[in-house]
Structure 1
Amino acid sequence: MDLFTRRKDSSFIYDLDLFEDTANRAYMKRLAIDEVLNFVARAASQTEFQVIQNKTPIKNDAYYHLNVRPNTDQSATDFWKDVVYKLLHDNEVLIIQDDNKDFLIAEDFHRNEYAVYNDTFDNVMVKEYQFKRTFGMDEVIYLNYSNDKLDNYITGLWSDYGKLIGRLNDIEMRNNQIRATVAVDATTGTQDQQTKKLQNFIDKVYKSFNDNSVAIVPTTRGFEYKEVSGGTGVKNLAFSETNSVKNAFIDDVASLVGVPSALIHGSNAENKENMQLFNTYCLRYILKIIRDELNAKLISPKDLMNEKMHIDSIGIDRPSIVDMAESIDKLGSSGMVTQNEVREAIGLPPRADGDQIIMTKNYTTSKGGENDDNENQR
Structure 2
Amino acid sequence: MKFFDWIKDFFGVEKSMIFINQNALASNEALVAIKDFALCSAINLIAGVLSKCEFKTYLNGIEVKGDEYYLWNIEPNRNQNSTQFIQEFISKLLYYNECLILDINGQLIIADDFTQTEYAVLENTFTNVTRGTMKFDKTFKMSEVLYFKYSNNDVQRLLSELMNGYNNLLKMAIGKFKRSGGRKGILDIDATASGDKNFQQRFDDLMNNRFKTYFEAENAVLPLHRGFNYNEQNGEGSKKSTSDMVDISAIVKEELDRAAQAFKIPTSLLRGDIADVEKITDNFLTFCIDPLSDMVGEEINRKRYGKSAFLKGSYVKADTTCIKHIDIFSISESFDKLIASGGYSIDDLRQKAGDSPLNKEWSKKHWITKNYSDVQDMKGGEK
Unpaired segments ≥5 residues, structure 1 = 1-5, 164-183, 185-218
Matched, 1:118 2:123: yes
Maintained 8 Å contact 2:76/2:107: yes
Structure 1 pair 326–261 and aligned structure 2 pair: CA distance change class (3 A): same
1:118 alignment partner, SS class: coil
1:146 aligns with: 151
Deviations 1:63-103 (A, max 9, x none): 121111111110000000110111111101001111x2101
The 1-side partners of 2:352 and 2:48 are apart by: 20
Equivalence map 1:34-113=2 (5 Å): 34-98=40-104, 100-113=105-118
Q: Match for 1:71: what amino acid?
A: N
Maintained 8 Å contact 2:53/2:323: no
The 1-side partners of 2:331 and 2:123 are apart by: 44
Q: Match for 2:124: what amino acid?
A: D
Equivalence map 1:1-378=2 (5 Å): 6=1, 10=5, 15=21, 18-98=24-104, 100-146=105-151, 148=153, 150-153=155-158, 155-156=160-161, 243-307=249-313, 309-316=314-321, 360-361=370-371, 367=379
2:255 alignment partner, SS class: helix
Q: Match for 1:56: what amino acid?
A: I
Q: Match for 2:319: what amino acid?
A: I
- Deviation of 1:132 (Å): 0.7
Select the structure with the greater relative contact order (CA < 8 A; seq sep ≥ 6): 1
- Deviation of 1:8 (Å): 5.2
Structure 1 pair 261–104 and aligned structure 2 pair: CA distance change class (3 A): same
Structure 1 pair 347–302 and aligned structure 2 pair: CA distance change class (3 A): farther
2:129 alignment partner, SS class: strand
The 1-side partners of 2:31 and 2:274 are apart by: 28
Maintained 8 Å contact 1:333/1:360: no
Maintained 8 Å contact 1:51/1:63: yes
- Deviation of 1:268 (Å): 1.5
1:169 aligns with: none
2:122 alignment partner, SS class: coil
1:361 alignment partner, SS class: coil
- Deviation of 1:124 (Å): 0.5
Maintained 8 Å contact 2:340/2:368: yes
Deviations 1:188-221 (A, max 9, x none): xxxxxxxxxxxxxxxxxxxxxxxxxxxxxxx899
Query: Structure 2 length as normaliser, TM-score?
Result: 0.64
1:66 alignment partner, SS class: helix
The 2-side partners of 1:254 and 1:325 are apart by: 34
The 2-side partners of 1:24 and 1:311 are apart by: 44
Maintained 8 Å contact 1:89/1:154: no
Maintained 8 Å contact 2:100/2:146: yes
1:116 alignment partner, SS class: coil
RMSD over equivalenced CA pairs, Å: 4.5
Maintained 8 Å contact 2:113/2:128: yes
1:115 alignment partner, SS class: coil
The 2-side partners of 1:88 and 1:21 are apart by: 27
- Deviation of 1:152 (Å): 2.3
1:123 alignment partner, SS class: strand
- Deviation of 1:130 (Å): 0.7
Maintained 8 Å contact 2:322/2:352: no
Maintained 8 Å contact 1:29/1:157: no
Query: Structure 1 length as normaliser, TM-score?
Result: 0.65
- Deviation of 1:61 (Å): 1.8
2:57 alignment partner, SS class: strand
2:175 aligns with: none
- Deviation of 1:10 (Å): 4.3
Q: Which moved more, 1:358-367 or 1:242-251?
A: 358-367
Count of matched residue positions in the alignment of Structure 1 and Structure 2: 303
The 1-side partners of 2:89 and 2:21 are apart by: 40
Structure 1 pair 321–54 and aligned structure 2 pair: CA distance change class (3 A): farther
2:69 alignment partner, SS class: helix
1:199 aligns with: none
Maintained 8 Å contact 2:264/2:288: yes
2:269 alignment partner, SS class: helix
1:269 alignment partner, SS class: coil
Unpaired segments ≥5 residues, structure 2 = 7-16, 169-190, 217-237
- Deviation of 1:18 (Å): 4.0
Structure 1 pair 42–362 and aligned structure 2 pair: CA distance change class (3 A): closer
